Every structure is written in structure tokens, then in C-alpha cells.
Homo-oligomer: A and B are copies of this chain.
Amino acid sequence: MSDVDELEAGVRDGDRRALARAITLVESTRADHREAAVELLDRLVDRTGGATRVGISGSPGVGKSTFIEALGLEILRGGHRLAVLAVDPSSRRSGGSILGDKTRMVELGREPDAYIRPSPAGETLGGVARRTREALLLCEAAGFDVVLVETVGVGQSETAVAELVDVFTLLVAPGGGDDLQGIKRGIMELADVVVVNKADGDLEQTAGRTAADYRNALGLMRPRVAGIEPKVLTASALKGHGIDETWAALCHVHDQLSGSGALDDLRRGQAVAWMWSEVQDAVIDAARRDGHAADRASRIEDEVADGRRTPTSGAREILRLMVR
């Protein structure tokens, strides 16, 4: 039995060790591993698509891991099997900023129906996101019916996560109008649910005002999907308040998307866009990796940056080097 056969069988059985090895395989950049990963994913494709895919983002300091732990336990109480993945291009195996530390989410990590996986290491956001997309499919194939994809609040990574999930939650800390400025404008438009965490003790009143500020800001904007207004909640992961409401709000949006056919359209579009973006990334990778072409491409890039050559002319030369 080949490695791929074994992994396929293990993932289909929902075996966690097989899932972990399968994800390690899709994360590898070695050419033979990539071949095997593509083969494995293709074989499992009939088992994918079954999960509710939830994105969750929050800046450092908003209490993200405590919140995800509380939300995760709430999800498990509903009888679901939960996988938690992460997209963090700054992460390294040696300890990234999210999910790298195994001491986080201790309680959730002990649950038999939860699977937590740190962010793959990677130089580029695109690469990290691509491997997380594949890990998500593997989790679905292993029978996880809710997948949370976590990311840090660093701008581009939220957009990448939004492109691979069905619904998106933005986690924020209580604070005055000044704190709202910390959220990049483009990020708010991704959120289906905004949760003001740490609504407890001294911060409870501030959290209420922050929620009102967000409601106001979101009210001035057009919803991501027509007819689906983003919801703003307060919560305290510490006290366990607002966690069930958050999950209910996410499920409500998911049901609306699903019922109207919008979810199907969203996922079809995501899959096709993902394919073409892989084609595009692969071409650029090839232009930068392959010895002769890479040297030329790098020189052409400098000429274009310095304005010594037009982008169009640079692009044509790179294409001549590469495309059949």
C-alpha cells in the first residue's frame, strides 16, 4: 500500500494521526511531496465541502485564543467536530505569533472532537493561504463539520482568509473611537459578525460603547452580501458571556447564505479563483526560481522599478522566457 493509499484511508476514517500527516504532506514544498499531495486531495475531493467554514480575526491583545477556546467548546457542545487552522505568514515552526504555542487552547486541545493545527511556515501570505486551503479540505474529508480559520489582524491576511471561508468574524477589544482607527478600513467590510471581547468588569461599559461605535461605522457601509446586515455583539470569553450568541449569529448568517443559494455561488467562485490564482502564482514562482529565467526576471524587475523600462515590455520578456 502506498503512502497516499494509507493516508487516504486514514483520513477517510477520521484518524487524527493520518490527518496530521496528510496536512504535513500538503505543507511540504518538495516536488515529490507536492505530487503526492495533489493526488491525495483529488482522491478525497468527494468528501470535501461539508463543513461550515468560519474565519476569525483579531489583533494581538484582544484575547483571541481564549475566545476561540470558548467558542470552540460551545461548538463542540452542539455535537460538532471542530478543526482550528491558522493563516499567519509571520509564523515559523520555531514559534509563530499564533497557534504556534501548544500551551494555548489547552482545554480545547484535549477534546477528542477538536483538532488544532498551527499555521504552516512560509515566506509569503499566498503560500501560507494555499496550504491552509488544502488543510481545510483535508479536515472536511476527515469528517470535521466546522472549521475555524484564525488569523492575526495584519491587513492582507484577513482578506486571504475571507477568500477561503463562508462567514467571517472580527474580534476587537473595548476602547474609545480611537481604537476603531486601529482596524483597517477594508477589514471591516469582510465581517459578518463583529465581537467586542473583554466585556467584563471595568471594561463592560466601554465594550458597550465600542459596540455602538462599530454599529455606527458598519451602518454607514454597504453589507458584503445584499440583505445580510453585519451583526455587532459584546462578549466575555473569560466569563463565558456572549459566546453562544456569537455562534448563533454565525450560524444565522450561514443559514441565510445557504438558503438563498449565495453560499453555493460564493464557494464556486472561490474555487475557480483559487485555481487561477494557483496558476498565476506558479508562473511567478517559476519565473523567480528557474535559474536562467530568474536572473533575467530579477534584472527586468529592477529596470521596471527604476522606470528604465515599461512594465508592459518587462512582462513580455518574462513571458517569452516562460510560456510555451
Contact = CB atoms under 8 A, between A and B. Distances in A.
A122 to B, nearest CB: 15
Main secondary structure of the interface of A (DSSP, over half): helix
Given A271-B307, A279-B287, A305-B268, A222 B315 contact: no
Given A180-B220, A310-B41, A322 B324 contact: yes
A29 interface: no
Given A280-B284, A284-B279, A319-B279, A311 B271 contact: yes
Interface string A13-40: 0000000000000000000000001100
Contacts of A311: 133, 271-272, 274-275, 278
B286 A283 contact: no
A213 to B, nearest CB: 7
A49 B307 contact: yes
A324 B283 CA distance: 10
A244 to B, nearest CB: 28
Interface of A: 37-38, 41-42, 45, 48-49, 130, 133-134, 137, 177, 180-186, 188-189, 213, 217, 219-222, 267-268, 271-272, 274-276, 278-280, 282-284, 286-287, 300-301, 304-316, 318-319, 321-324
19 contacts: A42-B313, A45-B308, A45-B310, A137-B310, A177-B220, A181-B219, A184-B189, A184-B222, A185-B189, A185-B222, A186-B189, A271-B305, A275-B300, A276-B284, A276-B315, A278-B311, A282-B315, A282-B319, A323-B323
